[in-house]
Structure 1
Amino acid sequence: MAMFYLVLVVFSLIFLYFGLKKSYWDKRGVPGPKPWPFIGNIGPHFLGRKTLGQVFVDIYRKYEGYPFVGTFRAGTPCLLVRDPELVHRILVKDFKSFRNNEMYVDKDTDTLFNRNPFALRDQEWKDTRQMLTPGFTSGRLKNLFPIMTSITKDFIKFIEHHPTANTDGIETRLLTKRYTLDNVAKAAFGIDGKSFESYEELSDFMQLANSFLTPGTLHGLFMQVIQIFPVLLRIIPPKLISGDIEKKMISIISEVRQHRLQNDAIHKDYLQFLIELGKENKFSDTEVTAHATTFFFDGYVTSSLVLSYALLCLAQNTKYQERVREEILKTEEKNNGEVTYEALQEMELLHACLWESIRLFPVGDILTKACTEPFEYTPEDPSFKKITLNVKVGDIVMIPFSMFSKDPKYFENPEKFYPERMLGKDGTINKVFYPFGMGPRACIGQRLGTMQIKIGLVHVIKNFEVTVSPKLQQPIKYHPFNIMNEIKGGLWLKYKKIK
């Protein structure tokens, strides 16, 4: 009987706690769905039916006409923004009130990731960004262009001789990861990634890369958990990059760095920029590796996913693929048989197709920001209900990237691949499309990422007719517990060599 009463008291306290939580938005006049104890509003995600982003997409659609919605990610109150003007205020106009991302990294525990600008906060973020920005100038990108172009030779040869390229096809998610990994290995670590040496085996560097932030691994699982319970990062601050991997990465950088310094070897890559930066700031090998790892995350994981979705869109829409191929050939004719760095920037249809593929298949659905100064907002757009919002310091706001890009209010026939809507567009579109973010915290490496993706697209589309493989599971579904939108069953495409 005593145990019965203990259980009763525990459950009563739990429901009382969540009852108080539930009134968090109600008492501030913010509309939203009622949360359940423990799971809040993300029950379908807990059950593995939907990604976390898809759960919030559903909530976004149910609250048409409201500028914002009060939600609960498990026990964490989160404000889902629906008004583009409010997004612009958060990311640009009133940036000081939302200057930090929600993600927190313990500086003492995580030796490498604690210098990533995405996780840094306040003045430290600002100082680091200013320090790293010169590494992404047009001049430095132009130096990286021939390095990445040379890697496409192995990329194309790998596809051409792949035993199932034009039968079952190639799992393109892994294919594009091989390409971007070799780029990152060469540009940021100064080594050969050797990603194209075997069809069956993964190179040592690729195994190193895949040992974290990969679904099914311990660190991959942890990254999924902290999406829902970010407070865990403060309670039990773990290493986002394990000690063994950390040592291997530092060892690679240390060896290459010492070789270059001892032999006065100068290279035109990103690592050389970091080495020179290290001389000025007296960086240790660990600090240089930490900044190289930032390049690694952005250049390898995200860029490869964007490239794979761009290829999927062109495989599904072959008329646009043919038009892009024509644009490539015309560009080469004007530039002595090659696509130069400058010419790549001028390929309008290629750019439009890439932007449209990002709109249709965003790598993520939401960006979470933490309020740093009190903020008040009342929508002026008559299409939204006139509700005044007061955001407190510490409140979490969700920027709905994929919700806007699939909303028929902003994009006519949003499920259709229609690159023409992106012609002549760059950066943001009416405050509802911002593929690399907006404002001071927009992605520092966006031009680098775009460049390597376009280089890969140019060489693949020029050499192969790309079509959808029967092995691609349709309709397309995402892995429910991944931090990015990864396709279940693999992204299978066929590649037929153009003679």
Structure 2
Amino acid sequence: MWWILAFIVAAVWGYWFLIRPHKFWTRKGVPQGTPRFILGDTWGTFLGKQSPAEMVEMVYKMCPNTRYSGCYQFLLPTLVLKDPDLIKQITVKDFDHFEDHRSLIQEESDPLWTKNLFALNGKKWREMRATLSPAFTSSKMKYMFTLISQTGEQFVKYFLTQDQNLTTFEMKDIFTRFTNDVIANTAFGVECDSLVDRTNEFYMMGKEATNFSGLWKTFKFFGYMLIPKVFKYFKITMFSKNVGQFFTNLVKSNIHSRLKHGIVRPDMVHLLLEARKNGLKYDDSEPIQDTGFASVAESEINKNPKNIKTEITDQDIVAQAFVFFLAGFDSVATVMCFMSHELALNPDIQNRLIQEVDETLEACKGKLTYDGLLGMKYLDMVVSETLRKWPNAVGLDRICTKPYTIEPKYPDERSVHLEKNTVVWVPVFGLHRDPQFYPEPERFDPERFSDENKTNIKPYTYMPFGSGPRNCIGSRFALLETKTLFFYILSHFEIVPVEKTQIPLVLSKKHMNITAENGFWLGLKRRSRV
């Protein structure tokens, strides 16, 4: 008879811990889909059947005509916000209830990651954000523009020295070399030329740090979600010891050298050292002309903090510089890849952009200026549409930090009470591809962001850099970097499809970040001069 009792106990345990969790939203009266056993609604990405972007779009389309719906990250219940007004309410108006991201890695396991701005939570995040915000204003971007522009000129000069009319490249490779050199220069004070010195240590470490493909990386990513206590116990880090030691030693030696010799460079390490020494004040006299439609404004919460007494350690500077590198190395390069792909497949759009490039170059008397770049309206439209169709952050997450109730708005709704630590999602990729907000969403159409049309874009349906006080602090830098490089490329080249170009483009199901299945193979063709 003991085996009968064992069977009953196992069945009860299985139901309570493996089946009942997937009825969480049903019990709360929230519509949900049909989650797979244990894997929930993330089964597609776990099994390699869907890219993360496709999974987010699938979740967004579940339970149509609802303001919100429930989904499951494995067994973890997650509330999906689909209504723009509700998204504003959660991420902006009631931000004090949802100020944190979900923490996957414990600080003692990987301080290089957990001390950076993205991973910090609560009071630590508020203090660090307020400390760093003044370093990312438009005025500071103008401060860094010289370094970015020099790297752009260096990048194009390399290809101009090649005696070929058409050269084929895998664009992710050459763009990460550019972004590597920009970040090395502007964040770490290190000058690189990764197109010439293709295996320089800075680039190779960056490539290793941002490689999230492969079985082991996938296991670690999902392991942090499924068995965080086990990962904490064994101190399994997201990044290798080589990567951690390299960036830590690099920044700390850089700091020591600057303080000893009084070295001043217009880069992030300098700005962080200034913040540690004197504090940085947010400059409210920002120029009217910003870096673009997609750039996000800094919240008053972050501009005017109260009772901020942050002590910035060398490790804090290392962590902020490192996350800035991660975002700048891979994410910005990915935006550039999708933009180059769209320009190659839409030559009419590219020709119009080239015309604006030539006009701007003439107006700047042959030398690109910060104001000249920011005055390029069509370039901003093209970048904005790229970020609409191919947002790097396919979804945003927030954690309910104190109990919250979503009140009913329609007759078929009822109050939804969210307990502390409930996860909510904003499915950015789904919103950006919703024909209700963007007719013919698969079509690449920069005219959506013309002066006449951009006012028709419904707020909180366009969020390439997030929403609310916890938006991306580096949006201005990313836009400036992207625009600068394309200005220099299109000054001398056309971007064209080649035999290896994947048409239509298919998203990779093997990577946790958004990228092309077979890479971004395109050609740079020298422009003919009349």
Equivalent residue for 1:465, pick from 486, 494, 501: 494
Q: 2:277 matched to 1:269?
A: no
Residue 307 of structure 2 corresponds to none
The 3 A distance-change label for structure 1 pair 304 and 270 is: same
Shifted more, 293-302 versus 425-434: the winner is: 425-434
Q: Please show how residues 224-373 of structure 1 align to structure 2 within 5 Å.
A: 224-226=221-223, 229=226, 231=228, 238-280=236-278, 283-373=312-402
Q: CA deviation at 1:87?
A: 0.9
Q: CA deviation at 1:91?
A: 0.9
Q: Aligned partners of 2:227 and 2:380: how far apart in 1? A: 36
Which letter does structure 2 place at the counterpart of 1:341?
A: Y
* Native 8 Å contact 2:151 2:182 kept in 1: yes
Q: Aligned partners of 1:94 and 1:219: how far apart in 2? A: 38
Segments of structure 2 that go 5 or more residues without pairing to the other structure are: 279-309
Q: Aligned partners of 1:165 and 1:180: how far apart in 2? A: 25
Residue 214 of structure 1 corresponds to 211
The 3 A distance-change label for structure 1 pair 235 and 358 is: farther
* Native 8 Å contact 1:479 1:488 kept in 2: yes
Shifted more, 205-214 versus 225-234: the winner is: 225-234
Residue 441 of structure 2 corresponds to 414
Which letter does structure 1 place at the counterpart of 2:24?
A: Y
Segments of structure 1 that go 5 or more residues without pairing to the other structure are: none
Q: Aligned partners of 1:284 and 1:56: how far apart in 2? A: 38
Q: Aligned partners of 1:274 and 1:412: how far apart in 2? A: 44
What is the CA deviation profile of residues 318-368 of structure 1, one whole-angstrom value per residue up to 9, with x for unaligned ones?
A: 111111111111122222223311122221110011010111112232111
* Native 8 Å contact 1:271 1:292 kept in 2: yes
Residue 173 of structure 1 corresponds to 172
Q: Please show how residues 10-409 of structure 1 align to structure 2 within 5 Å.
A: 10=10, 13-161=13-161, 166=166, 169-198=168-197, 201-216=198-213, 220-222=217-219, 224-226=221-223, 229=226, 231=228, 238-280=236-278, 283-378=312-407, 380=409, 386-409=413-436
Root-mean-square deviation (CA, aligned residues, Å) is 2.7
Q: CA deviation at 1:153?
A: 2.1
Residue 513 of structure 2 corresponds to 484
* Native 8 Å contact 1:69 1:81 kept in 2: yes
The 3 A distance-change label for structure 1 pair 279 and 494 is: same
Which letter does structure 1 place at the counterpart of 2:202?
A: F
Which letter does structure 2 place at the counterpart of 1:393?
A: K
Q: Aligned partners of 1:3 and 1:97: how far apart in 2? A: 48
**TM-score (normalised: structure 1):** 0.91
* Native 8 Å contact 1:65 1:385 kept in 2: no
3-state DSSP of counterpart to 2:264:
coil
Q: Aligned partners of 2:78 and 2:519: how far apart in 1? A: 32
Q: Aligned partners of 2:251 and 2:470: how far apart in 1? A: 27
* Native 8 Å contact 1:219 1:240 kept in 2: no
Q: Aligned partners of 1:444 and 1:476: how far apart in 2? A: 30
Q: CA deviation at 1:164?
A: 8.4
Q: CA deviation at 1:78?
A: 1.0
Shifted more, 36-45 versus 92-101: the winner is: 36-45
The 3 A distance-change label for structure 1 pair 442 and 244 is: same
* Native 8 Å contact 2:384 2:449 kept in 1: yes
Shifted more, 445-454 versus 57-66: the winner is: 57-66
3-state DSSP of counterpart to 1:32:
coil
Q: Aligned partners of 2:366 and 2:26: how far apart in 1? A: 64
Q: Aligned partners of 2:11 and 2:194: how far apart in 1? A: 53
Q: CA deviation at 1:99?
A: 0.8
Q: Aligned partners of 1:443 and 1:333: how far apart in 2? A: 34
Which letter does structure 2 place at the counterpart of 1:316?
A: L
Which letter does structure 1 place at the counterpart of 2:169?
A: I
**TM-score (normalised: structure 2):** 0.86
Which letter does structure 2 place at the counterpart of 1:241?
A: F
Shifted more, 346-355 versus 477-486: the winner is: 477-486
Residue 433 of structure 1 corresponds to 462
Q: CA deviation at 1:439?
A: 1.1
* Native 8 Å contact 2:69 2:79 kept in 1: yes
Q: Aligned partners of 1:197 and 1:8: how far apart in 2? A: 67
The 3 A distance-change label for structure 1 pair 119 and 388 is: same
Which letter does structure 1 place at the counterpart of 2:362?
A: E
3-state DSSP of counterpart to 1:100:
coil
Residue 286 of structure 2 corresponds to none
* Native 8 Å contact 1:364 1:483 kept in 2: no
Q: Aligned partners of 2:227 and 2:353: how far apart in 1? A: 43
* Native 8 Å contact 1:219 1:241 kept in 2: no
What is the CA deviation profile of residues 273-304 of structure 1, one whole-angstrom value per residue up to 9, with x for unaligned ones?
A: 12333445775543322221122122222111
Which letter does structure 1 place at the counterpart of 2:236?
A: P
Shifted more, 120-129 versus 477-486: the winner is: 477-486
The 3 A distance-change label for structure 1 pair 472 and 19 is: same
The 3 A distance-change label for structure 1 pair 113 and 153 is: same
Shifted more, 92-101 versus 233-242: the winner is: 233-242
Q: CA deviation at 1:440?
A: 0.6
Which letter does structure 1 place at the counterpart of 2:200?
A: S
3-state DSSP of counterpart to 1:363:
coil
Q: CA deviation at 1:172?
A: 0.4
What is the CA deviation profile of residues 231-285 of structure 1, one whole-angstrom value per residue up to 9, with x for unaligned ones?
A: 4566665323332222211221233222222222211121211233344577554
